[in-house]
């Protein structure tokens, strides 16, 4: 994949996450700016999802740890522990905020 394909895939992914959060009418703040999606919870903890263009990866930082994801066979997979990106985001949101969000419709 080239850089512009990578950017399009990640942009589409971040938009899909935001739309799913909109649909769920969550009670925490989130916004995307310059390819970074930031979720901010009532305790001021954050989840930050951003692209790493040189590596064609998505990086996620949570209150608990950080993860690097690579696109493999249509899924973003953590290159260290093998978790899938959407599953990790759902679990991290619940751990940090207590809010259960269904992101199963996201890429």
Q: Can you name the residues that pair with 51 across neighbouring β-strands?
A: 58
| Per-residue pLDDT reduced to its tens digit, 39-64 | 999 999 999 999 999 999 999 999 99
Q: How many CB atoms lie within 10 A of CB 87?
A: 14
For 57-66, which contacts have Cβ atoms below 8 Å and span 24 or more sequence positions?
A: 58/10, 58/13, 58/85, 60/85, 60/88, 60/89, 60/92, 62/92, 62/95, 62/96, 63/92, 63/95, 63/96, 64/92, 64/95
Model pLDDT for residues 77-89, shown as the tens digit of each residue: 999 999 999 999 9
pTM: 0.91
CATH number of 3-97: 3.30.920.10
């Amino acid at each position: 994949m080239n850089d512009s394909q990578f950017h399009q895939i990640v942009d589409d992914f971040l938009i899909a996450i935001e739309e799913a959060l909109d649909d769920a009418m969550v009670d925490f703040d989130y916004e995307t700016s310059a390819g970074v999606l930031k979720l901010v919870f009532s305790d001021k903890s954050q989840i930050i999802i951003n692209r790493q263009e040189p590596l064609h990866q998505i990086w996620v930082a949570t209150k608990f740890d950080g993860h690097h994801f690579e696109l493999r066979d249509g899924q973003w997979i953590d290159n260290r522990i093998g978790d899938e990106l959407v599953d990790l985001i759902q679990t991290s949101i619940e751990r940090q905020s207590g809010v259960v969000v269904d992101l199963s419709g996201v890429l």
